[in-house]
Amino acid sequence: MAICLAIIDKGSTPLYVNVCEKERSQEFDIHMFLYCSLDIVDEKIDGASRSPELFLGPLISDQKYKSFGYITNTKLKMLVVSEIGNTSLKDQDVRAVSDL
């Protein structure tokens, strides 16, 4: 299950960040993890010589969390954070949602 969803504009300003209720006590850690994930997104976008694939895949993981990224044609960034031990949320599942 995803524990956080964030939508970031092209200027890297958070438009929407929602942390699930059971993880509210860890909200600061999750926000810091989101900013680390956002750095990876920026590296992937800046490093692409051609237009990047919209689904960026798994971005970063640490001892507690892992993140997935998606970017729209208008440069809105969507980040999903899940717990590292969560085996029900896989790369292909997140990719399938981005194809909707």
* Fold designation for 2-98: Beta-Lactamase (3.30.450)
pTM of the model: 0.83
pLDDT interval class at 87 (50, 70, 90): low
What residues does each domain of the chain span? 2-98
Q: How far is CA 83 from CA 3, 12, 61, 99, in A?
A: 7, 23, 9, 23
Predicted confidence at residue 84, as pLDDT, reads: 85
The CB density around residue 9, as the number of other CB atoms within 10 Å, is 13
Q: In degrees, to the nearest 5, what angle opens at C-alpha 44 toward C-alphas 80 and 16?
A: 35
Distance CA 55, CA 19 (A): 21
Could you report the per-residue pLDDT of 17-66, keeping only the tens digit for each? Answer: 999 999 899 999 999 999 999 999 988 888 766 666 788 889 999 999 99
The CB density around residue 13, as the number of other CB atoms within 10 Å, is 7
